[in-house]
Each structure stands twice: as structure tokens, then as C-alpha cells.
Structure 1
Amino acid sequence: MNKIDDINIEIQHIQQQMQSYLQTHWRLFLAEGAFFIFLGICAIVIPQLFTVATVIFLGWLLLFGGIVHISRAFFVSNMPGFGWWLFMGFLQAIIGYLFITKPVAGAITLTMLLTIFFALEGVAKISLAFMMRPLANWGFILFSGITALVFALVIWMSWAESAHWLLGLLLGINMVFLGWSMVQISLHHKAE
């Protein structure tokens, strides 16, 4: 056997494992898909709220994470890299504080980061779709990946003007597509 045969065998093995897992846990994927559709619809209906809520939630996570970094750095101050740990902690805490106190400015920043996220997510979903290609409904994941790449392009083209609502809206649309994909795949594997 050569390397290509080994790779093909490994891909077939992964596909068989994935199909088995989907058949066993189809209800979990169905519930998760329905949940993502619900969240997505909420975000589409009130995108400004989801945008601000996302920024503030992330701000609190960063603030608490920064406090933990700073505390640990002082607790083990003789540890190599003390200054870097302390720097990371202060950086996290400051960014978190700014996101909490200035969520609109944070939304502009996060909207640009979301562009990167959607681009990377799109590439990952497309890659996953081609791994699943022989399985039924693999095209739904491919479609979700392509929409994520389109969202990245749309955000990049208009992020400064629409950052206060675009983040929530596109996040909602992306969640609906992901949920719909998961529901379709789970219902297909229910019948098998």
C-alpha cells in the first residue's frame, strides 16, 4: 500500500465513525440544531441587543480572566516569565473593562474580529464538508461554510458603518444556517 491508499483508508474510517456517531446521537444534534435556530432568530429580530450583549459578556470574561492572571502572577512572582504573565493579565483586564464601559467601540473591534472568525469558520466548515462528502446531506455543511465566507466579505466591506447591529444580525443568520444544517443531518440519520 502506498501513502494515498493509507490516507483513503483513514478517511473512510473517519467517515464511518462520523456516520456511526450521528446515528447514535441524532437526537442530540436535532436538539442542538433547534437551539441554534431559536438563538439565531432572536439575534436577527433584535440584532443591536445581541451585539451589545456579546460585547459586554466578552468584556466580563476578559476582565475576570485578567484578574485571575494578575492574581496568579503575584502569587508565584518568582516564576519565570512573571512580567509577561502580569502584562497579559493587565491587558486582558483593561480590554475587558473597555468592552464593558464602551460597548459600541467594542462592537466595532469585535465586528472586525468576527470577520476573521467567519472567514476561518467558513474554511473549517468547507473542509469538514469535503471530509463528509460521501455521507448524505454533506452539502448542508458546505453551504454553511460558504455563507460564513460571504458574511466575512460583507462585514469587511461595511464594518465601520454598521458595527452596532451587523454583528448581531450576521451572528443570528449564521446560527440559523448552522442549526438548520444540524437538524437536516440529524433527521437523515434518524431514519437509518
Structure 2
Amino acid sequence: MTLPRDITRLQSEMRDAVREHWKAFLIEGILLVVLGLAAMIVPPLASLAVTIFLGWMFLISGIVGLALTFWTRQMPGFWWSLISAALAIFAGIVLLARPLQGVLTLTIVVGAYFLAEGVATIMYALEHRRELSERWSWMLFSGLLDILIAALIITGLPGSADWAIGLLVGINLLFGGASLIGVALAARKT
């Protein structure tokens, strides 16, 4: 069986690629950290930018989906594909036409997601507490933290729409950028 050898070769190629392009990873990491900090400093602007970006993504994907649906209209599921494309176009137009209302809607969705994710994580932790020994408590803590974030977002509506998405995106960009910087600096040393 060649699977372990293939994995080892792939890991080696990845390591070499990162080592060779460590400066690109460093630049991207710094850029993400700067954007993350900017989003955290001005979360309403970041929330609006995310909403507009999603609006364009829905609109473009809907138009492409519509074109592909008509191109392959003999395929099964034509009507479902047509409905899906039309919904994406509609969602994109709504988000682009009324981005401030879109921010509120996205904030509600994010709050509901954190609530559902928190409950699921807690249930998963409780289900696996025997097999995971003391590590299950970390999952329980993560689930409780998700529920706390959901509560902050949902109970703060509509005011939390001003900061929630922008702050969460900013945190994500900051940590993603920091991890890329760490990878770049580690690759540079080897």
C-alpha cells in the first residue's frame, strides 16, 4: 500500500512550498491582521462591507446558476435549479438594495447559528464525556461560550447588528492572519 508514502511526499511538498514562499505568507498574514484590526475598530463599516460582499456573491452565483440551468435544461431537477438560482439572485438584489436591513438579518442568522452550535457542542460533549476523559470539558466550555455569544447578539438586537458581524469577521481575520504570520516565520527558520 502506497498511502503512507504518498502522504509523506505530499507533506514534504507542502513544507517545501511554504518554505519557498514564506514571504507571501507573511505579507498575507500582515494584511489580514491589519484588516482584522480595522474591522474590530470600526465594526459597523465591516458589517456593511460583509453584507455588500455577500450580496454580490449571491447575485453573481445566481446569475451563473441561472445560465448553467438553462444550458443544461434537459438534466433532471431543472425546476429546482431554476428556483435556487432565482432565490440567489433575489437575495443578492435585496442585500445590495438594502444593505442596512441585510446587516440586521445576517446578525439574526449569526445569533441563531451560535445558539444552535452551542447546544450541539454541549450535547456532543456530554455524549462523549466518558471517552474523552477530562477533555470533554473543553467542548462543554466552547458550547457555553457559543451560547453566551448568541445571547449577547440576540438580546442586543437591533443594536448588536452594528457590531456583531464586523467584530466576528475582525476576530477571524486577526487570528487567521496571526496564524499565517506564525507559519511564515517558522518556515523562514527551516
- The one-letter amino acid paired with 1:68 is V
Partner of residue 35, structure 2: 39
**TM-score of the aligned structures, taking structure 2 as reference length:** 0.67
Q: Alpha carbon RMSD of aligned pairs, Å?
A: 3.3
Partner of residue 103, structure 1: 99
Please show how residues 27-106 of structure 1 align to structure 2 within 5 Å.
27-74=23-70, 76-106=72-102
| CA distance in 2 between partners of 1:83 and 1:103 (Å) | 29
1:180 aligns with 2:178: yes
% of aligned pairs identical?
A: 34
| CA distance in 1 between partners of 2:144 and 2:16 (Å) | 32
| CA distance in 2 between partners of 1:107 and 1:153 (Å) | 21
Indicate how the Cα distance of structure 1 residues 152 and 27 shifts in structure 2: closer, same or farther if over 3 A, else same: farther
* 1:159-191 Cα shifts (integer Å, max 9, x gaps): 232123111112112211211121122112212
Indicate how the Cα distance of structure 1 residues 84 and 102 shifts in structure 2: closer, same or farther if over 3 A, else same: same
Residue of 151, 155, 162 corresponding to 1:157: 151
Q: Is this contact kept in 2: 1:112–1:155, CA < 8 A?
A: no
- The one-letter amino acid paired with 2:17 is Y
Aligned residues: 159
Indicate how the Cα distance of structure 1 residues 15 and 69 shifts in structure 2: closer, same or farther if over 3 A, else same: closer
Indicate how the Cα distance of structure 1 residues 100 and 154 shifts in structure 2: closer, same or farther if over 3 A, else same: farther
| Structure 2: 5+ residue stretches without partners | 118-141
Partner of residue 127, structure 2: none
Q: Deviation at 1:34? A: 0.8
| CA distance in 1 between partners of 2:61 and 2:145 (Å) | 30
| CA distance in 2 between partners of 1:103 and 1:150 (Å) | 31
**TM-score of the aligned structures, taking structure 1 as reference length:** 0.66
Q: Is this contact kept in 2: 1:104–1:164, CA < 8 A?
A: no
| Structure 1: 5+ residue stretches without partners | 120-147
Q: Deviation at 1:17? A: 3.9
| CA distance in 1 between partners of 2:61 and 2:153 (Å) | 28
| CA distance in 2 between partners of 1:186 and 1:56 (Å) | 31
| CA distance in 2 between partners of 1:172 and 1:157 (Å) | 20
| CA distance in 2 between partners of 1:51 and 1:28 (Å) | 27
Indicate how the Cα distance of structure 1 residues 183 and 72 shifts in structure 2: closer, same or farther if over 3 A, else same: closer
Partner of residue 24, structure 1: 20
